[in-house]
Amino acid sequence: MFIQRLAPTFGTPSTVVVRHDQTPQNHNVWHSHEELEFISIKKGRGTFFVGDCIHHFTEEFTVLIGSNTPHYWLFDEEYVHQSPSAPADIRVVHFRPDFIGADFFLLPEASHIKQLYQKARRALIFEEDTRLSVFFDRIVRQAPFQRLTALLETLGYIAGLSCYATLVSPDYTLLQQEEDLRRMNKVMEYIRLQYKAKVRLEDVAQLAGMTSNSFCRYFKQRTGKTLVAFLHEIRVGQACKMLTETSLSIKEICFDCGFQNFVSFHKIFKTITRTTPSAYREAAQRSR
């Protein structure tokens, strides 16, 4: 899996590109692009990878992703088949940082938008917001000029919000070298496919063409996490999904997600989620 440099496809010349997808398009590829990505998942579930963050998403998930921040969306199986049993509903807006003109950022009135762009490099996630929901509903039907003004107004609105969180850690460094991109993609693809089995440091290091010690330093520098911690987050994320959506026993889920020891699973799960697997399942059942 390679981090691909993707550019939005323009049907006609346009500064703001809007898509309304019912099946994921270019979402299941680890990629980056100069354009900011403002996306709302109205219907759909899966796992969102951005920078060094792994985040489970469900319906009504809205995030603003900054320029060149690598990300991909791993939608659950029912949304990615040719004839999906549960069509997704995805609203995507792509726009360049200077979509309103490069001189715009010289204006003192635009300083808050410039600051927002910097924050968006860490991916900003928004709670349910009626105004943002209306924005995404309308922009798919608007004419190009209306899209420009609606986007600018909405960016001004969210720049003044305080009720959002960042997903990517402050220590995360964007990958710039092409060789780095290829190496990290090999590693990420291997982990994505093998995390349910035993993942050996020596095997991953060999895949990256490095010694084990060098790879440990390299991976921590690039992701902000050790390989073990990264695997734990992926496995616990899958466990949370299975606790919510299946009736399998906790022990079955433990081993199905790649944990080799039931006691360790409990300890790691509680460290990451601040609760036990059984309490997590009970809370999920109460919220239905």
Give pLDDT tens digits for 225-234.
899 998 998 8
Q: In Å, what is the CA distance from 203 to each residue of 93, 169, 179? A: 39, 27, 19
Rounded Cα distance between 149 and 154, Å, is 9
Tell how strand 4-5 and strand 31-32 pair up. parallel
pLDDT of amino acid 26: 54
Query: What are the residue ranges in the chain where pLDDT is below 70?
Result: 1-14, 25-30, 81-85, 175-178, 181, 288
pLDDT of amino acid 177: 58
- CATH topology for 178-286 is Arc Repressor Mutant, subunit A (1.10.10)
pTM as predicted: 0.74
pLDDT of amino acid 12: 46
Sign, Cα dihedral of 141, 83, 4, 164: positive
* Domain extents in the chain: 4-166, 178-286
pLDDT of amino acid 10: 44
pLDDT of amino acid 176: 56
Q: Report the 10 Å Cβ neighbour count for 83.
A: 6
DSSP assignments along 154-203, one per residue: HHHHHHT---EEE-S-TT-----SHHHHHHHHHHHHHHHHHTTSPPPHHH
Class of domain 4-166: mainly beta
